[in-house]
Amino acid sequence: MSACVAISVVAHAQPVPSDNTIPAFKELDSIDARLQGCVTCHGRSGEGTAAFPRIAGKPSGYLYNQLAAFRDGTRRYTPMNYLVAYMPDSYLREIAEHFANERPPFAPPSAATTTDVVIQRGRSLVTSGDTHLGVPACMACHGLALTGTRPGIPGLVGLRANYIVSQLTRWRVGERHAIEPDCMKHVASRLTDSDMTAVAAWLSQQDTPKNPVPQSAPVGRLPLACGSQRQGDE
């Protein structure tokens, strides 16, 4: 009898699809099942796809700020604005917390497509910044391992070059904003197109970190006042 039950359970269970962007979940009353709305773009664990960014493991304060900004229209990307338009804060925080705790494997870093000179410029901006331009090192805020800093600063590892360039460009032209004082506006408006390409190229080629967890606090005083960091977890 128990064998029959076991067989029938197996027969009815949906095979888990290998493609991570096809909806699948184990239990109906779970946050996984509720967030099936995210999987076709961000993957079942928030690992991202070729066209959409990794959200897994980013600090929950950062993720919440983005969700709230999409809902309130202060960050504009129509498909996201539409999906989260009618959600209460409590649910957005739960969603943010869920993806912040996900640890799916990283995709392998992309192969080099630019010259060594560009890569060196990117490495230099990420690790040391450019005092002449008034641009601090990415690492000063986004973490020594570039895995982000709780509560409000996102990790940059695992993001693809085209996503990084497009977000920096949106900041520079005023299409993307963060909570004031908007430090990324300061940074992006001082970077040239080729600087952005260089930063994105170097970042997207880094090996994935052994420990993907965001650092719990900045290494020291942040080089620029950051509205997101101050208010990220409020």
Partner 1 sequence: MRLAARLLFGLVLLAAIAAVLLYALRPGLLPQTVRGKSVVAAVATLTRGEYLARAGDCVACHSVPNGRQFAGGREMPTPFGSLFVPNITPDDDTGIGHWNADDFYRMMHTGVSRDGALLYPAMPFASYTKVTRSDSDALFSYLQSVTPVQQKNRPHELRFPFNNREMLVGWRTLYFREGEFVPDTAQSAQWNRGAYLVQGLGHCAMCHTAINALGGSSESKAFEGGMIPNQNWYAPSLTSNREAGLGDWPVGEIADLLQAGASHRATTYGPMAEVVYDSLQYLTDDDATAMAVYLKALPMRDAAPAATSEARLVDPAVLESGRQVYATQCAVCHGDEGKGQPPAYPPLAGNRSITMASPVNSIRMVLNGGYAPGTFKNPRPYGMPPFGQVLRDSEAAAVVTYVREAWGNSGTPVTPSQVNELRKLLPD
Please, which residues bridge with residue 149 across strands? 153, 215
Please, which residues bridge with residue 215 across strands? 149
101 binds partner 1 (CB under 8 A): no
216 binds partner 1 (CB under 8 A): no
Q: Which of 6, 7, 8, 33 binds partner 1 (CB under 8 A)?
A: 33
Q: Which of 2, 3, 27, 90 binds partner 1 (CB under 8 A)?
A: 90
- Please give the span between the terminal C-alpha atoms of the chain, in angstroms, as a whole number: 55
Locate 83 and state its tokens: 């999906």
Q: Which of 36, 113, 208, 216 binds partner 1 (CB under 8 A)?
A: 36
Close Cβ partners of 24 (under 8 Å, ≥ 6 residues apart):
14, 16, 17, 39, 44
Q: How far is the CB of 52 from partner 1 (least distance, A)?
A: 8
Q: Which of 6, 8, 17, 133 binds partner 1 (CB under 8 A)?
A: 17
Alpha-carbon distance of 41 to 38, in angstroms, equals 6
| CA 30 to the chain's CA centroid | 23
Q: How far is the CB of 79 from partner 1 (least distance, A)?
A: 6
Residues engaged in binding partner 1 (CB under 8 A)? 14, 17, 21-25, 28, 31, 33-41, 51, 72-74, 78-79, 82-88, 90-91, 94
